[in-house]
Structure 1
Amino acid sequence: MPAHSAEPEGSPSPAAFKTRLSVKWDSLSNNTRGICWALLATFLMAVMSTIIKLLGDHLHVTQILMIRQFFMLVISAPIILKGFPGSLRTQAPMLHVGRVLLASAAMYFGFTAVINLPLAESTVIGFARTFFITIFAVFFLKEVIGIHRITATLVGLLGVLIIVQPGNGSEMSIYSLMAILGSACAALVGIILRKVSQIDQPITILSFQATFVGLIMAPFGIYYWVALDLTDSILLLCLAGVSWGAQMSNIQALKFGEASAIAPFDYIRLVYAALISVVIFGVWPLWTTYLGGGIIVAAALYTLHRETVLGKKVATGTAPSKTH
């Protein structure tokens, strides 16, 4: 009697499936791969904001940042030590200095806004980062932005404006201003990441931030220190893991895709924030959030479609130059 096959007939083996997936991934354009990484990064960032908001009820933002960076360094330690000293070798030390300082400012302003503003509001204001990063990409990275990408970004911004409803007479709070400043600093960090990710390893980039942002926050975190309970410790550990994953995904996104190409996909985080607000905080978004969110998703999906089409044209040699 013949031996039975380990796999059902017609069912691909795990190795074959992995090979097919790898071939499919390699066939995508660099911008499309960057977009895929960006989608993962934005989801993890939404989870990160939720954890920060829960911790911020009784912990100071600098204590949260200090402990978060320490845990991220511990998580990264095995990879750092395995490749040591190469894992800490950089060809752009001054870019890393600027990145660490800007990242520290972006985290402090951004985390403070998340803690003190409603999650949806802080998320929406954070989308100003898309505007900043598109402008900075033109000036610092000399990227050429085509009509399709400009249109997708503007349509996504329209969705944000529908949600914010400017001109309703409400005053901008100090926390809203901090959210905007945090967005500008985060955009500059993204521009620097675009540069250093071409010459340094991802673990090197993450290690510098995990180490030095924590050191910058340490004096303030110690001054505002509050004793941790078991729930705080678990949340902080989860925060470190999610943050590590988000940053690694973001680094990969910027490594593969142009900064202005992946920028519209930051809008997807609003959808995540709306869902989390309902499930975790019991806050239902207004109808304008649904309308604006639909426009944002449509703009992001259109950009993904355009990049996929462009990738196919590049593969066949029929792609137009810089018109996407």
Structure 2
Amino acid sequence: MELRTLGSQGLTVSTQGLGCMGMSAFYGSTDDAESLATIERALELGVTLLDTAEIYGPFTNERLIGTALTGRRERAVIATKTGIEIGDDGSPGGLNGRPEYIRHALDRSLRHLNTDYVDLYYLHRVDPQVPIEETVGAMGELVHAGKVRHIGLSEAAPQTIRRAHRTHPLSAVQTEYSLFERGVEHDGVMDTLNELGIGLVANSPLGRGFLSGTITGPADFATDDYRRTDPRFQGENFHRNLAVVDEVRRIAAAKQVTPSQLALAWVIHQGAVAIPGTKRRRYLEENRAAAAIAITADELAAIDAVAPHGIVSGDRYAPEQMQFLNG
């Protein structure tokens, strides 16, 4: 797989990574054996970037990756996240960007991941009660200590990115980016990253599965799948968004690729590293093939016509979660 450099500090990853969250949380039932086989297959196919967070489980997803990489740590680039407080017993807390928590959480993640360093350490959400300089300063200290190789932010506003980058160089910013969610093209985030030489890592590049073209209704989800409460999958929003997916499916069919492959190829074409999440080998292999798909100027124009900025109906998250974006 083609490699791409994130930032200017030497972090190189595959153009498509693997989002591991759904292997342990939020998307219904899990199967550790299939998840471990999926990670193994990803490594075989040249996917190097594995994305996790301490909150996924909590902790169980990091442990899963630690198990998967036993004896072959050097084959993967591990990205994990902190800043949403979790007690050592797994109890939830609020946002926490205090330096002492960042240091404690990193040591805990290293134990769970069964490694002595993390390649990319993100602040999962910005804590408005702690100056970003203090949080990123602590993350930079972890780099100097050799426990972290590179740092990044997740869901941060342009001015926050600038302040953080002045404190310690950022290699990446992770945010939702897809044919459904093109906000970073218009809110200053992408322009800021390009100006500062920071990489963009796109989570949910398939619109939480919507752009796969296989979802027909909320009833497709397990009872414990959080998408049952996602605004974009509710009521009239769902039907409007499904109409957009139908148009994407039409363009994909003309190109003889799947809607998922077209959506992922588009994200990669935009210069981002895509991290589609899956817990099954068959979807991983389908997604992996997208990295080799070229998109012509005419196809880009066709995609822009059916999936412009603002086309999606519904907010990205429920109101209580929306407040934590663009910190």
TM range (shorter): under 0.3
Between structures 1 and 2, the one with greater helix share: 1
TM-score after normalising by structure 2? 0.25
Considering only CA atoms, is the larger Rg found in Structure 1 or Structure 2?
Answer: 1
TM-score after normalising by structure 1? 0.25
